[in-house]
Chain A
Amino acid sequence: MTTANQVLSEVEYEVVGKRPVRPDGVDKVTGRAQYGADLELTGLLHARVLRSPHAHARINSIDTSRAEALAGVRAVVTAADLPFAALSREDLSNDYNRFKFLSDNFLASDKALYRGHAVAAVAAENAHIAEAALDLIDVDYEVLEPVIDVRAAMQDGAPLLHDDLVHTSAMGEISDKPSNVASYMKFDKGDTAAGFANSDVIVEREFTTASVHQGYIEPHNATAHWRADGQINIWCSTQGAFVVRANTADVLRIDVSSVRVTPMEIGGGFGGKVTFYLEPVAALLSRKAGAPVKVLMSRTEVFEGSGPAPGSWMRVKMGADSAGKITAAEIELAFEAGAYPGSPVMQGATCAFACYELENGTVEGYDVVVNKPKTAAYRAPGSPQAAFGVEQVVDELCQKLGVDPVEFRLNNTVTEGSRKVEGPVFQKIGLVECLEAARNHEHYRSPLEGSNRGRGIAAGFWMNRGFHSSVNMTVNPDGTVNLIEGSVDIGGSRASIAQQAAETLGIAYDEIKPQVVDTDSIGFTMVTGGSRTTFATGWAAILAAEDVKQQMVQRAASIWDVPVEDVEYDGGEIRHKSEELSFTFKDLARQLYTTGGGITGTASLDPTGEGNSFGVHLVDVEVDPETGKTEVLRYTAIQDAGKAVHPSYVEGQIQGGAVQGIGWALNEEYYFGDNGQMMNSSFLDYRMPTSLDLPMIDTVIVEVANPGHPYGVRGVGEVPIVPPLAAVANAVGHATNQRLTSLPITPGSVLEATL
């Protein structure tokens, strides 16, 4: 059964690289794991949020009196309860827009900027009363014309979301009048025009992608208790408890030490739970009601009021010479930021050509506000959209040149020392090895037979991140070790971090007891996201384990009364270098309390050297010429993991990312009515892939060790969503002899292109 998944290892370890059962597994298969919605507290109230039915409207007034009078209602809040309401432009000075945008996305003050924008919230004795109370809140809206398409929003005369939003260009020029363009960036390398002049083949196309949602199955939730002494306790579903702490303190204008955030088990995030929506609202309700308040989103609220990933427009132009070398490339990207600035267009821009050695390249990006929810991160933010354009243009270059798409990519691949368009130089990377694994794979070597079928290939890139992590590790008298971390476990990271600790200590995996704790109980730890957790928190565990080892050596030296230099730690044993003296880890652990006290190792770090990730995906599809429906017949995903700490969970990341990408390519989109209302805000109408839509997703884990990590680890979570959009589009293109340049590739769009 495992033949479908291969691991091409460079180095073998004792624990790292094995597939143990995850420590939180039993609770999760028995229904006992505590997610945010499962929390129960004494005197808990239940809250619901009132959301704008309009995509763009001025809020003239909000009257909450009828809601407050309803029996069972205990508190109502609006933007008037947020500190922003009492601050003037002068008070906030240069921070005005940033703080207004932050505050307004929790509760809108002067304008509702998307359908689903929160405008008020009610806490009541139960959720049904809270819901009934929402209907009693009278909001006087002045409905404005919305703009929901990125190109339309960039036009002169488009409805403006923000009256005073001006942007600074790449050249440092400030635009002379407000617009929906929040920022503009441009990077250049070499001489792009000269490069095109030297090309024998040029392909230039425009592409669009629809807004898609991260689609985590667990809706956002938050419980807050604003205690009488001013301390706020928050329990929530988040990828980053410290981000919730910092931003809650920021928007409420209180000290971070007044906020304690406990991350509950998280039911998926994919970047969408790096952003948060409910916590300060629950806190305000709790302060007013004098009781803890739990607030949950419905699925419709999740679609309309959280996420999504940006819709985009792109123009891609690439040229190659007759020898199959790329001579120049340029891309223009315009990304929807949603209601407030901050789309991942910069990431899209820096990922766009990352797989190709370019002498000449130009990248331009626009961040554009539109009347949609403020976009949130979604797995390799920005990179899948860019790859959708670039990898199709590369495929078309290969068709025009009559060359094999893997050979063409190998002929133009980046390697150690290659410099990206925007400047950075690659360290040791594994794209060549991924492409070679693709070329050698049985999937690629077997011909695709049958009519209306096509095979697609695409590559993808994500830079990965380091950032802060902390770990504390305490030795128990039975020889086990408590591992305390701040990284919420979204897909097996307790296991992958414990494995690195066990490897370093030279003890068994199940002797490590990992626990994810609240923000008062561990040092600063950044989000579980950016493919950083197994890399950075794993590294913190390694350093904390080294600290434990050093203290164990010191303790042994003191017990034996010998110089510490004469004692060494070797594979779970503490021994004298020349004399017949030794302790197993367990032996010494048993004596700690009577020989000077317990031992706790600690580490906080902010590592660089995260090591970039590349993936190459192969897909075979069949397109029904009658209905236009695309069926995925076979899928193989190849990725450099550096070192797969827990190969099963690495495969899981790759498979899950690939399938989200397949959904993005074929099914998923926010469908809007004329007035900017989302028309498909349920899982019935926003159709994510089901088990029935898919084949097995075969994987190949390539291991080109990352020199920037003790065990060679690279992040793995982001990159698998990058290639599928283009890989599927290339496959459909070959099956139909048509280029599909807009996502999603629905049966309707296929029929339109082919009939």
Chain B
Amino acid sequence: MPGLVHVTTTINGNQTDFLCEPRQSLLECLRDVVGMTGSKEGCNDGNCGACTVNLDGRIVTSCLVLGVEAQGAEVNTIEGVASAEGLHPIQQSFLENAALQCGICTPGFIVAAKALLEAEPDADEARIRHWLAGNLCRCTGYDKIVRAVIDAGERMRA
């Protein structure tokens, strides 16, 4: 049994300390150690995007990042997208555009889309399709997701 490592990180703006094994992924640490289960495991090898989180301003599949790599980093997850004031425009747009069916891929899509729109709120369909190609959805055929992200961009520009 390997020894546990003490990790100090910032999750959704809050300083968080946790103990993990060196082999544990950030996804595992978030879900099983910290108890934040909003990030989902669909493949555990970086191909589905359901575990997408924002690490120091860059989106990553958290199943391919080690928990110890979060030391000193800023981690932003789906749990930090809404605020006390209410839903983020992307979340509202996903709801109103029926951009989810089963919902398991939704956290990853929202975290990924937020990173895009914060940098490029006027991203067009082609750009959005390219950006979201790392997130698999099996229910929607992507149509309503892409429309929701376009719509969210309009809301964020307004």
Contact = CB atoms under 8 A, between A and B. Distances in A.
A216 B77 CA distance: 22
B55 to A, nearest CB: 17
A691 B133 contact: yes
B141 A656 contact: yes
Contact of A652 (B35, B48, B129, B139): B139
Contacts of B136: 217, 683, 688, 690
B91 A656 contact: no
Contacts of A652: 98, 101, 139-141, 144
Given A267-B103, A490-B102, A35 B142 contact: no
Interface in A584-615: none
A87 interface: no
A268 B139 contact: yes
B47 interface: yes
A31 B39 contact: yes
A29 B110 contact: yes
Candidate in A21, A22, A690 with the most chain B CB atoms within 10 angstroms? A690
Interface stretch (A148-156, A391-399, A692-700): A692-700
Nearest to A696: B143
A270 B140 contact: no
A1 B142 CA distance: 15
Interface string A180-207: 0000000000000000000000000000
A31 B78 contact: yes
Contact of B91 (A30, A492, A683): A30
A219 interface: yes
A648 B140 contact: no
A651 interface: yes
B138 A216 contact: yes
Most A CB contacts (10 A, CB to CB) among B47, B81, B101, B135 go to: B101
Contacts of B21: 128
B104 A218 contact: yes
B78 A21 contact: no
B50 interface: yes
A659 interface: yes
Nearest to B144: A652
Given A21-B95, A652-B140, A491 B101 contact: yes
Contacts of A648: 97-98, 144
B22 to A, nearest CB: 12
Interface residues of B, number: 61
Interface string A16-47: 00010110111011111111011010000000
A31 B43 contact: no
A265 B102 CA distance: 8
Contacts of A682: 43, 45, 47
Q: State the main secondary structure of chain A at its contact with B.
A: loop
B149 to A, nearest CB: 10
A655 interface: yes
Contact of B96 (A21, A33, A266, A692): A21
Contacts of A214: 138
Contact of B132 (A71, A684, A691): A691
Interface string B68-85: 000000000111011000
Contacts of A268: 101-102, 104, 138-139
Which one of A649, A657, A660, A682 has the greatest number of beta carbons of chain B within 10 Å?
A682
B138 A692 contact: no
Given A1-B147, A218-B102, A267-B40, A30 B79 contact: yes
Contacts of B105: 217, 267
B137 interface: yes
Contact of B44 (A22, A298, A697): A298
Nearest to B151: A1
A38 B103 contact: no
A389 B89 CA distance: 46
A659 B98 contact: no
B40 A35 contact: yes
Interface in A251-275: 265-270
A694 B147 CA distance: 13
B106 interface: yes
A219 B42 contact: yes
Contacts of A750: none
Given A128-B23, A692-B133, A683 B48 contact: yes
Interface of B: 1, 21, 23, 31, 35-45, 47-48, 50, 77-79, 81-82, 87, 91, 94-98, 100-107, 110, 125, 128-130, 132-147, 150-151
The 8 closest A-B pairs by CB, nearest first: A31-B38, A267-B104, A659-B141, A28-B103, A491-B101, A648-B98, A31-B78, A683-B47
22 contacts: A28-B106, A29-B95, A30-B87, A40-B35, A215-B138, A217-B104, A268-B104, A296-B41, A299-B45, A299-B48, A491-B101, A651-B144, A652-B98, A656-B139, A656-B140, A659-B141, A689-B142, A690-B133, A691-B133, A692-B129, A694-B142, A696-B146
Interface of A: 1, 19, 21-22, 24-26, 28-35, 37-38, 40, 71, 128, 214-219, 265-270, 296, 298-299, 490-492, 646, 648-649, 651-653, 655-660, 682-684, 688-692, 694, 696-697
